[in-house]
């Protein structure tokens, strides 16, 4: 993926020189916690860049997603990522705000209930369609920074196939914990680039208290096909906290994430976000 790597290097250099920022990783697998049998969610993520100036409040990533259970065991998952770059900084190479429509996702998830009803396996497969514009790299960089665990959602000329495996157990107290592994095979749509593989892994705990659900999690992304470097150089990790309140039809929520290693902390302070899920009756 020579051209893809060159783009990433040039993009990183531009971002480093202009606003000193980098990329976080989600602390929760969004596909593990659907709002209901049929639901639509809207998420907003806002990064806090280290030492950055001139970035307005609307500089953010928006994700519109849907979860639709088609049978007792099969669910359809879709999402549409959008980046809003709202900037007031004379040093930035872009002289105007940008809105980027990213690569939409479509996937299937099958649940496998074990003999012990408190244990559940989730197996998923999905793909991102390469529709992102290759003329809005400043906005693409905002997507990279805010959602590194899904940076393929904002990369132009890149198709992605995802394979996912998750385990969920519910204890008698109501406490839930999950362990998830996600492989993202990134396939360039232009000649001369190489196919690359990234591995995502995370573990999280969710505690429901009446209508409130609180969770925390640890997550990482590894560049599995990197040509060199030790583990610390090809991985990025983050700790996250989230919460939701269930009103029945509507479920608002929040999340907060902090980077844990030098690959992230030199440029990123934290990411915070809000969500709203509508359960379709």
Query: What are the beta bridge partners of residue 68?
Result: 38, 76
pLDDT for 34? 46
In the predicted model, is pLDDT for residue 275 greater than 80?
A: yes
pLDDT band of residue 262 (cuts 50, 70, 90) is confident
Residues 6+ apart with CB under 8 A from 248: 279
Is residue 34 within 8 A of residue 59, CB to CB? The reply is: no
Lowest mean pLDDT among 135-139, 205-209, 212-216: 135-139
CA nearest to 147, candidates 272, 246, 234: 272
Q: Which residues contact 271 (CB under 8 A, 6 or more apart)?
A: 24, 45, 46, 47, 48, 146, 256, 257
Domain boundaries, the chain: 2-279
> Residue 236: pLDDT above 70?
yes
Structural fold of domain 2-279: Porin (2.40.160)
CA distance 24 to 202: 13
CA distance 91 to 245: 41
* pLDDT higher than threshold 50 for residue 226: yes
Residue-wise pLDDT tens digits, 145-162: 788 888 999 999 999 999
Residue range 239-262: mean pLDDT, rounded: 92
The closest alpha carbon to 123, from 59, 217, 29, belongs to 29
């Amino acid at each position: 993926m020579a051209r893809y790597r060159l783009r990433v290097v040039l993009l990183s250099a531009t971002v480093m020189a202009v606003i000193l920022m980098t990329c976080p990783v989600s602390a929760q697998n969004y596909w593990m916690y659907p709002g209901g049998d049929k639901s639509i969610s809207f998420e907003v993520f806002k990064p806090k860049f280290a030492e950055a100036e001139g970035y307005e409040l609307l500089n953010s990533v928006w994700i519109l997603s849907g979860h639709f259970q088609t049978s007792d065991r099969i669910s359809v998952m879709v999402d549409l990522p959008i980046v809003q770059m709202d900037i007031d900084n004379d040093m930035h190479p872009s002289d105007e705000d940008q809105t980027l429509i990213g690569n939409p996702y479509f996937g299937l998830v099958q649940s496998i209930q074990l003999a012990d009803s408190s244990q559940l396996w989730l197996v998923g497969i999905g793909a991102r369609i390469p529709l992102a514009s290759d003329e809005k790299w400043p906005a693409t960089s905002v997507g990279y920074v805010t959602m590194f665990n899904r940076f393929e959602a904002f990369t132009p000329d890149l198709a992605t196939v995802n394979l996912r495996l998750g385990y969920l157990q519910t204890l008698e107290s109501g406490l839930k914990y999950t362990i998830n592994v996600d492989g993202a095979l990134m396939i360039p749509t232009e000649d001369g680039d190489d196919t690359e593989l990234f591995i995502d892994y995370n573990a999280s705990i969710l505690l429901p208290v009446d209508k409130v659900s609180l969770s925390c999690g640890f997550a990482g992304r590894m560049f599995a096909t990197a040509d060199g470097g030790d583990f610390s150089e090809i991985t990025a990790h983050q700790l996250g906290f989230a919460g939701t309140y269930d009103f029945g039809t509507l479920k608002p929520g929040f999340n907060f994430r902090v980077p844990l290693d030098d690959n992230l902390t030199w440029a990123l302070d934290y990411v915070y976000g809000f969500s709203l899920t509508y359960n379709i009756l």
